[in-house]
Amino acid sequence: MDKVALITGSTSGIGLGIAKRLAQAGHSVILNGLATPTLNETISEVKTLGKGEVLFSDADMSQPDQIEAMMRMIEKQFGRLDVIVNNAGIQHVAPIDEFPIAAWDKIIAINLSSAFHISRLAIPMMKKNGWGRIINIASAHALIASPFKSAYVAAKHGVAGLTKTIALEVAQHNITCNAICPGYVLTPLVEGQIAATAKARGISEEQVINDVMLGEQPTKEFVKIEEVAELVYYLCADAAASITGTCLPIDGGWTAH
């Protein structure tokens, strides 16, 4: 049966890549995120990839009431929700003693709390259907830390804990919950932190790319969006029914150090 999948933060980067892969697989997809100048083209492009429906919600993942409204819309439209990919995320790079409180609160809300809200609202629908997949796009920073990313690292470690807890609670309902932990993927989020990291570390932007980012990854290559999307697709398959409660690195060997 064709499934219904919600991917948060899917107007660009990794989330958009995942939405495209799941649309190709025949799923109906709900795109979400901040509107971009090319939003209409993006929605049309995802529609052409498969035979499922494509909807867009601009719900702000830092606002629980907007998340609830989006979930009610999905239930009304489809009467089911089979796959959720909690992917929306933002970053702020600064030393802890200069870290803006507003940036801390926003990162915790979008990168961690939205996964809690979406999961708590989706699980009853999944239980009703006796099947579900919860996939949290965490980060290598769910497993290890880097300086100047206190909120991001704290939120992503929180996602790892949330993933394990949900997996235990839903294990007997044919629902799995896993976290994917990518290393550096060249997306707008990463492009946007190169200058800030250069400033925080007092080095050039080129050094940030080669020494800080790719310096961490033994392959010396960025992880590709398509590689993350393919892992999501696999976790959605029935063959992955016994994979649950895991934090799966896809990081060119970074966390093997």
Dump strand ranges (E) for 132-233: 132-137, 175-182
List, in order, residues 6 or more apart from 36 with CB less than 8 Å away: 11, 12, 42
Q: How far apart are CB 27 and ligand NAD at their closest, in Å?
A: 18
Which of residues 131 and 149 has its CB atom nearest to ligand NAD in the complex? 149
Q: How far apart are CB 167 and ligand NAD at their closest, in Å?
A: 19
Q: Which residue has the tokens 């867009």?
A: 56
Q: How far apart are CB 85 and ligand NAD at their closest, in Å?
A: 10
Closest CA to 33 of 25, 43, 24: 43
Give contact residues for ligand NAD (rule: CB under 6 A): 9-15, 32-34, 60-62, 87-90, 110-111, 137, 139, 182, 184-185, 187-190
Which of residues 136 and 176 has its CB atom nearest to ligand NAD in the complex? 136
Q: How far apart are CB 86 and ligand NAD at their closest, in Å?
A: 8
Q: How far apart are CB 147 and ligand NAD at their closest, in Å?
A: 17
Distances in whole angstroms, Cα of residue 110 to Cα of each of 86, 106, 193: 10, 6, 17
Instruction: Indicate if 152 belongs to the active site.
Output: yes
Q: Identify the active-site residue in 152, 184, 233, 234.
A: 152
Are the C-beta atoms of residues 178 and 131 closer than 8 Å to each other? no
Closest CA to 255 of 188, 247, 191: 247
Which of residues 55 and 90 has its CB atom nearest to ligand NAD in the complex? 90
Residues 94-133: b if buried by 16+ CB within 10 A, e if exposed: beeeebeeebbebbbbbbbbbbbbbbebbbebbeebebbb
Which of residues 129 and 246 has its CB atom nearest to ligand NAD in the complex? 246
Which of residues 135 and 137 has its CB atom nearest to ligand NAD in the complex? 137
Specify the DSSP class assigned to residue 137: E
- 3-state SS of the chain: helix, strand, coil percent to 5? 55, 15, 30
Q: Which residues are catalytic?
A: 152
